[in-house]
Chain A
Amino acid sequence: MTSPFARQRYLIDYTLAALGRRRGKNAGLLAIYTLVVFVLASAMLFASAIRFESTAVLADAPELTVQELVMGRHGLLPADHLDKLSAIRGVATVEGRLWGYFYDRANGANYTLMVPGRDAAEYSVGPGEAIIGEGLARSRGFKEGGALLLVSQTGKLLKARIKSVLSNDSALVSSDLALISEVDYRRFFELPDGVYTDAAVSIRNPREIAKIVEKATLALPSARFVTRSDIARTYESLFDWREGLLVALAAAAILAFAIFAAEKASGLSAEEAREIGILKAIGWDTTDIIAMKLWEGGLVSLGAFLLGTVLAYIHVFLFAAGLFEPVLKGWSVLYPDFALAPRIDALQLATLFVLTVIPYTAATLVPIWRTAVTDPDEVMR
C-alpha cells in the first residue's frame, strides 16, 4: 500500500527541485511577497507595541483631570475650584498642576514646560533647576549639569541648571518635556498666583469615578473632566489612525500583489502547463499535481510570510521602525528616541497570515486545477 507520507515526501522533493529550476522567477516573487508582508507586519507590530507602551506610561496618569473651559476652550483653573473638588466625598487628593507649551524659535519645536507634582519626589526641582526630556536634550545639545536657557516671547529668560535628563523609558510622553519649579514657571509665563493649568484628582475607589465626575460636574459646571481611560482612548485612536495611514500606504503594495495574484490565477505559462501535461501523461494524479503545487505555493507564501515578519520584527524592535517613524511616532517635532519592548499580538499575526498566505495559495490553485483536469494530450499540445 502506498504510504501517504512517502508520497508527500516525493512530491516535496519534486517541488523543491521545481522551485530551484525557476529560481529567478521565484526569487522575484519571494522578494515582492516578503516586501508586502514586511510593510504590513511592521505597521501592525509597531502600532501594537506603541499602544501597549502608551497604556503602560499612562497608568501613572491621574485618575481624573479637571480643566476649566472658557468659551469652550481650555482656560486657567481658579484655585478655589480645588477646594470644591476636595470637598466631594470619595476624592482622595486634589492637586493644581502647571504645564504649558513653549515654542522654541531656535529649532522650531514645541516644548512642554511643567511643574512636577507633589508626589513625584524623584522629579522634584527647586528654583533654578530643571529636569528635561531626552528629545529636548538631544535637539539642543543640553546635558546634565549644564544650563537650560529659554527666552519667552516677551523676553523673559528662563535659566536653570539641568539636574537630570529623563530616561528613554517614558520617552513617548516626556521626549519634549522640561520640568521646572513653580516659581520659575510663573515667572517665565507671567502667570499670577491662584490659578493653575488644570487639576489632578485621585479617587479613593476608582470604581466610583463616574459618580464623582457626576458630582463634580454639578459643583463646577464650567469645568471639563477627563478620566485616565479617556486619555488612553485618545492615544489609542491616535495610533489607530496612524496605523491606518500606514496600512493605506501599504494598500498600494497589496494592490500590486493582488494584480500579481490575479495574473497568476488567470493562467499558467506554456512551460508550466506543459510540465503538468507531462506529469499527468506519465501517471501523476490530478490530486498529486494539485498537492505538489500547493506545496510550491505554500512554501513560497509561508517563506515570504516568515521572512517578512522576522524582518518587520527586526525593523520595529531593533531599529525602532526607522522607515515609518515620521508616520507612526508621536505628535511632537521632537520624536521620541526609545526602544519598544518586543510585543507580538497573535491575533494580528494570524490575520496577516490569513490575508496574505491563503489568497495567494488559492489564486495559484485555480489555473493548476483547470490544467490538471484537462486531458494530458490537450495540455501538451
Chain B
Amino acid sequence: MTTTPAGAGGMIELKDVTKLYNEGRPNEVRAVAGANLVVERDKVTVFKGPSGSGKTTLLSIVGCLSRPTTGRVLLDGELVSGLPERFLTEVRRSTFGFVFQRFNLVRGLTVIDNVMLPAYPLAPPHAELRERALARLDALGLAGKAEMPVEHLSGGETQRAAIARALINDPKIVIADEPTANLDTALTERFLEIVAELRAEGRTVLMTSHDPRIWQSDLVDAVVEMRDGRIVGEFA
C-alpha cells in the first residue's frame, strides 16, 4: 500500500482521515481508511479507482460536504474538519464550487436561476448577480438557454449549467465528481477544454473519474489512485 505523506505548502492537506458510514451498526462501512494527502494549489488532480473505492467520499471530505470520522483536514494550513457547521458552510461557499456526478440541478427552475442559487445567501444586487450568471453561461455557450427549465437541457448542456453554477461565487477550488460519466467523446473533450480554462484562470481542480480519457489527459497534474478506501498510489 502506498500513501502520500502530508507535507507543507499544500492547499489542502488530509491527515489520517477515516470515514465510517453507519458507525457501530452491523452494516458499518469503512469508506476511507487512514488517508494522508496533499493537494497542490493551481493544479488539476484526479482521483481514480473502481466503484466503492472511496473516491467520492474523499472528495466530499476535501470539499467540506462531509466530516471525517477521524483525522484532520487543513485548508491553507487552517484546520477545517472541526469547524462548527455554520463556519464550514462559509468555507464551502467561499472556497469550493461543486459539479456533482448527477449534476444535481434543481428541477423546475430555469438554467439561470440554478446558476444564481449559490449566491442567494450572499444577497448581491439582483441585476449584478444576473449579469454575472449570464456571463458564466455565455462563456460556456449556454446564454441562449438561460431562461429554459433545466430539465429541457441535453446531457452536455446540463453539465455546463452545473459548471456555471459551480463558478458563480468565483471559487478557488472546483470539485467535480465523475464529470464525464454520462458524456460521449466530443462532450468529454469539451469538458477537458473547460478544465483547461479553469486552470488557466488559476483555479485548483479536483475530480474523480473512471474515465482514462480524463486521467491520461495532459491537463492532469496528479492522479491519486484509490482502492478499498485507501490511497494506493499517486502519479504526477
Contacts and interface: CB of A to CB of B under 8 A. Distances in A.
A55 interface: no
Contacts of B120: 7, 10-11, 14, 284, 288
A283 B98 CA distance: 10
A7 B123 contact: yes
Interface stretch (B8-16, B42-50, B102-110): B102-110
Contacts of B86: 285-287
Contacts of A279: 117
Nearest to B125: A6
A377 B92 contact: no
A7 B109 contact: no
A10 B133 CA distance: 15
Interface in B116-132: 117-118, 120-125
A375 interface: yes
A128 to B, nearest CB: 78
A283 B109 contact: no
Contacts of A287: 86
A252 B216 CA distance: 67
Nearest to B108: A21
Given A280-B89, A378-B66, A288 B121 contact: yes
Interface in A263-303: 274-275, 278-288
Interface in A287-323: 287-288
B85 interface: yes
Interface in A23-61: none
A11 B92 CA distance: 19
A278 B106 contact: yes
B93 interface: yes
A373 B106 CA distance: 20
Contacts of B123: 2-3, 6-7, 9-10
B130 to A, nearest CB: 12
A86 B57 CA distance: 98
A6 B122 CA distance: 9
A378 B66 CA distance: 7
A257 to B, nearest CB: 27
B67 interface: yes
A274 B124 CA distance: 26
Contacts of B66: 375-378
B217 to A, nearest CB: 26
B106 A283 contact: no
Interface residues of A, number: 31
B65 A283 contact: no
Determine the main DSSP class of A at the interface with B.
helix
A17 interface: yes
A274 B104 CA distance: 9
A287 B107 CA distance: 22
A20 interface: yes
A251 interface: no
Given A282-B165, A377-B65, A17 B89 contact: no
Contacts of B67: 375
A239 B104 CA distance: 58
A91 interface: no
A380 interface: yes
Contact of A21 (B57, B107, B121, B125): B107
A288 B113 CA distance: 17
B117 A282 contact: yes
A9 B165 CA distance: 20
B161 to A, nearest CB: 13
B3 interface: no
A147 to B, nearest CB: 72
A376 B92 CA distance: 11
Nearest to A22: B108
Interface in A360-381: 373, 375-378, 380
Nearest to A285: B89
A14 B85 CA distance: 23
B188 interface: no
B85 to A, nearest CB: 6
B91 to A, nearest CB: 10
Interface in A325-381: 373, 375-378, 380
A282 B107 contact: no
Contact of A283 (B85, B89, B107, B124): B89
A166 to B, nearest CB: 61
Given A7-B121, A17-B113, A283-B93, A278 B65 contact: no
A64 B86 CA distance: 72
B85 A282 contact: no
B71 to A, nearest CB: 15
Sorted nearest first, the 8 A-B pairs with minimum C-beta distance are A283-B93, A21-B108, A377-B66, A6-B123, A7-B123, A377-B60, A10-B120, A377-B65
Interface of B: 57, 60, 65-67, 85-86, 89, 92-93, 98, 100, 104, 106-109, 113, 117-118, 120-125, 165, 169
25 contacts: A3-B123, A7-B120, A7-B121, A10-B120, A10-B123, A14-B117, A14-B120, A17-B108, A21-B108, A280-B89, A281-B65, A282-B117, A283-B89, A283-B92, A283-B93, A283-B118, A284-B89, A284-B117, A284-B118, A284-B120, A286-B85, A288-B120, A376-B65, A376-B66, A378-B66
Interface of A: 2-3, 6-7, 9-11, 14, 17-18, 20-21, 274-275, 278-288, 373, 375-378, 380
Given A2-B123, A284-B120, 8 more contacts: A275-B106, A281-B98, A282-B98, A283-B121, A284-B89, A288-B121, A375-B60, A375-B65
